[in-house]
Protein backbone atom coordinates (compact mmCIF):
# COMPACT_ATOMS: atom_id res chain seq x y z
CA UNK A 1 0.00 0.00 0.00
CA UNK A 2 1.40 3.38 -1.01
CA UNK A 3 1.26 6.43 1.16
CA UNK A 4 1.98 10.14 0.95
CA UNK A 5 5.22 11.26 2.63
CA UNK A 6 5.16 14.46 4.67
CA UNK A 7 8.34 16.34 3.82
CA UNK A 8 7.74 19.61 5.68
CA UNK A 9 5.47 21.14 8.30
CA UNK A 10 5.16 24.78 7.30
CA UNK A 11 2.96 25.84 10.21
CA UNK A 12 0.77 24.39 12.92
CA UNK A 13 -1.86 26.08 15.08
CA UNK A 14 -4.07 24.73 17.81
CA UNK A 15 -7.31 26.43 18.83
CA UNK A 16 -8.42 26.73 22.44
CA UNK A 17 -10.39 24.00 24.24
CA UNK A 18 -12.59 22.30 21.67
CA UNK A 19 -10.99 24.43 18.96
CA UNK A 20 -9.84 23.31 15.55
CA UNK A 21 -6.25 22.36 14.89
CA UNK A 22 -4.69 23.29 11.52
CA UNK A 23 -1.40 22.33 9.94
CA UNK A 24 0.11 23.43 6.65
CA UNK A 25 2.23 20.58 5.32
CA UNK A 26 4.14 19.69 2.19
CA UNK A 27 3.89 16.06 1.03
CA UNK A 28 5.02 13.95 -1.90
CA UNK A 29 2.84 11.37 -3.60
CA UNK A 30 3.40 7.63 -3.32
CA UNK A 31 5.76 5.68 -5.56
CA UNK A 32 2.86 3.27 -6.20
CA UNK A 33 -0.60 4.87 -6.01
CA UNK A 34 -3.43 2.71 -4.64
CA UNK A 35 -6.71 2.53 -6.55
CA UNK A 36 -9.26 4.24 -4.29
CA UNK A 37 -6.62 6.51 -2.74
CA UNK A 38 -3.34 6.40 -0.85
CA UNK A 39 -3.00 7.10 2.87
CA UNK A 40 -2.05 10.49 4.31
CA UNK A 41 -1.04 9.51 7.87
CA UNK A 42 -1.34 12.49 10.23
CA UNK A 43 -1.23 10.42 13.43
CA UNK A 44 1.37 10.45 16.21
CA UNK A 45 2.46 6.98 14.97
CA UNK A 46 3.90 8.64 11.84
CA UNK A 47 7.48 9.14 13.02
CA UNK A 48 8.42 11.12 9.89
CA UNK A 49 5.68 13.65 10.69
CA UNK A 50 6.43 13.84 14.42
CA UNK A 51 10.16 14.10 13.64
CA UNK A 52 9.43 17.26 11.66
CA UNK A 53 7.03 18.76 14.23
CA UNK A 54 5.51 16.79 17.10
CA UNK A 55 2.64 19.30 17.36
CA UNK A 56 1.50 18.44 13.80
CA UNK A 57 0.11 15.03 14.80
CA UNK A 58 -3.70 14.81 14.94
CA UNK A 59 -6.19 12.78 16.98
CA UNK A 60 -8.81 13.22 14.22
CA UNK A 61 -8.69 14.66 10.71
CA UNK A 62 -11.91 16.19 9.40
CA UNK A 63 -10.57 17.58 6.13
CA UNK A 64 -7.70 18.41 3.83
CA UNK A 65 -7.52 21.37 1.43
CA UNK A 66 -5.09 21.56 -1.46
CA UNK A 67 -3.16 24.84 -1.34
CA UNK A 68 -0.69 24.22 -4.15
CA UNK A 69 1.32 21.82 -6.26
CA UNK A 70 5.09 21.93 -6.70
CA UNK A 71 5.53 21.76 -10.47
CA UNK A 72 3.30 23.20 -13.18
CA UNK A 73 3.36 19.89 -15.08
CA UNK A 74 1.82 18.20 -12.02
CA UNK A 75 -1.20 20.49 -11.78
CA UNK A 76 -3.17 17.92 -13.78
CA UNK A 77 -3.49 15.84 -10.59
CA UNK A 78 -6.34 16.86 -8.25
CA UNK A 79 -6.35 15.24 -4.77
CA UNK A 80 -9.62 14.71 -2.90
CA UNK A 81 -9.56 13.75 0.79
CA UNK A 82 -11.63 10.76 1.91
CA UNK A 83 -11.77 10.67 5.74
CA UNK A 84 -10.86 7.54 7.63
CA UNK A 85 -13.37 5.74 9.83
CA UNK A 86 -14.36 8.02 12.76
CA UNK A 87 -11.97 10.63 11.27
CA UNK A 88 -8.99 8.44 12.14
CA UNK A 89 -5.78 10.41 11.44
CA UNK A 90 -3.96 7.30 10.20
CA UNK A 91 -6.48 5.95 7.68
CA UNK A 92 -7.69 8.94 5.66
CA UNK A 93 -6.76 8.74 1.99
CA UNK A 94 -6.15 11.17 -0.84
CA UNK A 95 -7.87 10.03 -4.01
CA UNK A 96 -6.21 11.54 -7.09
CA UNK A 97 -8.10 12.55 -10.23
CA UNK A 98 -6.28 13.07 -13.54
CA UNK A 99 -7.69 16.29 -15.01
CA UNK A 100 -5.84 15.72 -18.30
CA UNK A 101 -7.89 12.62 -19.07
CA UNK A 102 -10.84 12.90 -21.46
CA UNK A 103 -13.08 12.39 -18.43
CA UNK A 104 -11.75 14.62 -15.63
CA UNK A 105 -13.40 12.32 -13.08
CA UNK A 106 -10.96 9.54 -14.00
CA UNK A 107 -8.86 8.36 -11.09
CA UNK A 108 -5.11 8.02 -11.59
CA UNK A 109 -4.21 4.45 -12.54
CA UNK A 110 -3.35 2.09 -9.72
CA UNK A 111 0.40 1.74 -9.18
CA UNK A 112 1.08 5.09 -10.90
CA UNK A 113 4.30 6.69 -9.64
CA UNK A 114 3.50 10.06 -8.04
CA UNK A 115 6.55 10.38 -5.78
CA UNK A 116 7.93 13.18 -7.97
CA UNK A 117 4.86 15.33 -7.27
CA UNK A 118 4.75 17.57 -4.21
CA UNK A 119 1.60 19.20 -2.86
CA UNK A 120 1.00 21.74 -0.11
CA UNK A 121 -2.01 20.85 2.04
CA UNK A 122 -3.97 22.44 4.86
CA UNK A 123 -5.03 19.70 7.26
CA UNK A 124 -7.66 20.41 9.90
CA UNK A 125 -9.21 18.50 12.77
CA UNK A 126 -8.17 18.04 16.38
Q: What is the pLDDT of residue 36?
A: 95
Conformational region of residue 18, where left means phi above 0, alpha means psi within -120 to 50, and beta covers everything else: left
pLDDT in tens, 37-95: 999 999 999 999 999 999 999 999 999 999 999 876 678 899 999 999 999 999 999 99
* Number of domains forming the structure of the chain: 1
- pTM score: 0.92
> Whole-angstrom Cα distance, residue 113 to residue 29?
8
Q: What is the CATH number of the domain that holds 99?
A: 2.60.40.3940
Amino acid sequence: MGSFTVTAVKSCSVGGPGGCKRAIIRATGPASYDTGGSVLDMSSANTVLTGLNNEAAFNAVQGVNVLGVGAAASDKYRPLFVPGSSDSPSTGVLKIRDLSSTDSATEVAGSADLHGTTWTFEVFGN
